Structure 1
Amino acid sequence: MKDATELPRSLLVLGGTSEIALATARRLIARRTRTVWLAGRPSLALENAAGSLRALGADVHTVAFDALDPESHESVLGKVFAEGPVDLVLLAFGILGDQAHDERDPARAVQVARTNYTGAVSAGLVTGGALQAQGHGCLVVLSAAAAERARRADFIYGSSKAGLDAFAQGLGDALHGTGARVMVVRPGFVRTRRTAGRPRTPFATTPEAVATAIELGLRRGSETVWVPGALRLLMSALRHTPRSLFRRLGL
């Protein structure tokens, strides 16, 4: 993929069992993608995910990758890039945590932060540098609408995504003009197996809808993608709401 708006032939997924990532991989395989690396902790779920993509005709490899082991990232991910050009990296790992429980258990709160932010900083710098070195490619970072303004109901998760979002935007600025680029994706509440049982919120979406938005963003050369698009205006309004009023909203 030399043209920045061309769909990728090769895809590296960080967070290889993510439902959003797999929906995106399926969509891209149906278009143009032929080689996929699924990176994640070795598990039956990872192997099953790889098998489901192979059934679609892709050449799929699994890579042992741990977001919480940043010292291994350069070696592990470097081996992937050594096998050939990677057109698209999808950074899709992350955990929601349990706000009510995590407020009372700082160690669990730190685990959310380490996964969603610290691990992503490491992986983002490694893959961003590799894309720059090869002179082309896109890093797609799954942020969240929650990054725009942390709410009382999820400020641990929201603050971790806010850090990730700011990092990804800065990395995009650093890569500007190198041939590599960053696209930040900010979905609202996504209905997946992991969010089953949680209260539904307005503007909820699905992995397939996020995948569709990612493809459209790649074709357009977008730097930021909201899913659904109406969230852009809503979150902008919330971001500028005075704090005294914001607290009374009970969000």
Structure 2
Amino acid sequence: MKDAFGTPQSLLVLGGTSDIALATARRLIARRTRTVWLAGRPSPELEAAAAHLRGLGADTHTVAFDALAPESHEAGLGKIFAEGDIDMVLLAFGVLGDQAGDERDPLAATRVAQTNYTGAVSAGLVCARALQAQGHGSLVVLSSVAGERARRSNFIYGSSKAGLDAFAQGLGDALHGTGVHVMVVRPGFVRTRMTAGLPEAPLATTPEAVATAIELGLRRRSETVWVPGALRLVMSVLRHAPRSVFRRLPM
């Protein structure tokens, strides 16, 4: 169960090598989180992440998880919940893709959509049902400001995040009153391994800043969190800009 300050004592991360997810885990472990499950494709990187969190004092386990294998989600994730209640699920997996290359390769573009959207729908529903069955818990979904309005420079990624964002908001409405809290997190450009080498966008942030915002959102039981907060206004302007104007923007 969460403590009196809303900090989860147990955490399941879907996307166990995500920079943002690991920054969040470190921050929560520094508070009161004691059990962590890192779910991802088996790899030395996943095991190294688990070893690092163990060194911080958390009882950390790894479990095989593949967003592109939804047929395995129910059985695989079900085993985790069978071990005991999970206070927080952090859905943090996703791929950026290569917009220019993916436009020429429909199969590659489809993999981006399947990872970011359909894989998340499958895993999100499995975890939501388990949280509802235990009667409490938070499902935190890492979305992106890219989903607010698809831009020509990354509309494949942006459209997949738009789908994820809408799904998570609807899921939150469906679970309202059940004891399960769904929080959508919308970061802007985050300095991670995934964005290494890309031109930095205005209001760029760090995994640690996103982790701080997630912890604050949990305490407040927020439904939507923007990181940084100024992006709420920026994206509102862009979302409502006439299409003729939007097309002229260097984005």
Tell me if the contact between 2:181 and 2:221 (Cα under 8 Å) persists in the aligned partners. no
Match of 1:214 in 2: 214
State how far apart, in whole Å, the 1-side matches of 2:193 and 2:162 are: 24
State how far apart, in whole Å, the 1-side matches of 2:184 and 2:37 are: 20
User: Which stretches in structure 2 are left out of the alignment for 5+ residues?
Assistant: none
Offset from partner CA, 1:1-32 (integer Å, 9 cap, x none): 35796110000000000000000000000001
* Mapping of residues 162-241 of structure 1, within 5 Å: 162-241=162-241
Q: Which amino acid aligns with 1:199?
A: P
Match of 2:118 in 1: 118
Match of 2:15 in 1: 15
**Given the alignment of the two structures, is residue 82 of structure 1 paired with residue 82 of structure 2, yes or no?**
yes
| Aligned-pair CA distance for 1:181 | 1.5
Match of 2:27 in 1: 27
State how far apart, in whole Å, the 1-side matches of 2:8 and 2:133 are: 17
State how far apart, in whole Å, the 2-side matches of 1:150 and 1:33 are: 36
Aligned residues: 251
- Paired residue secondary structure (2:182): strand
Q: Which amino acid aligns with 1:108?
A: A
State how far apart, in whole Å, the 2-side matches of 1:88 and 1:55 are: 21
TM-score by length of structure 2 reads 0.98
Offset from partner CA, 1:121-163 (integer Å, 9 cap, x none): 0000000010001000000000001111110110000000000
Q: Which amino acid aligns with 1:80?
A: I
User: Which stretches in structure 1 are left out of the alignment for 5+ residues?
Assistant: none
Query: Identity over aligned residues, as a percent?
Result: 80
**Given the alignment of the two structures, is residue 106 of structure 1 paired with residue 111 of structure 2, yes or no?**
no
TM-score by length of structure 1 reads 0.98
State how far apart, in whole Å, the 1-side matches of 2:121 and 2:184 are: 14
Tell me if the contact between 1:189 and 1:204 (Cα under 8 Å) persists in the aligned partners. yes
- Paired residue secondary structure (2:154): helix
- Paired residue secondary structure (2:111): helix
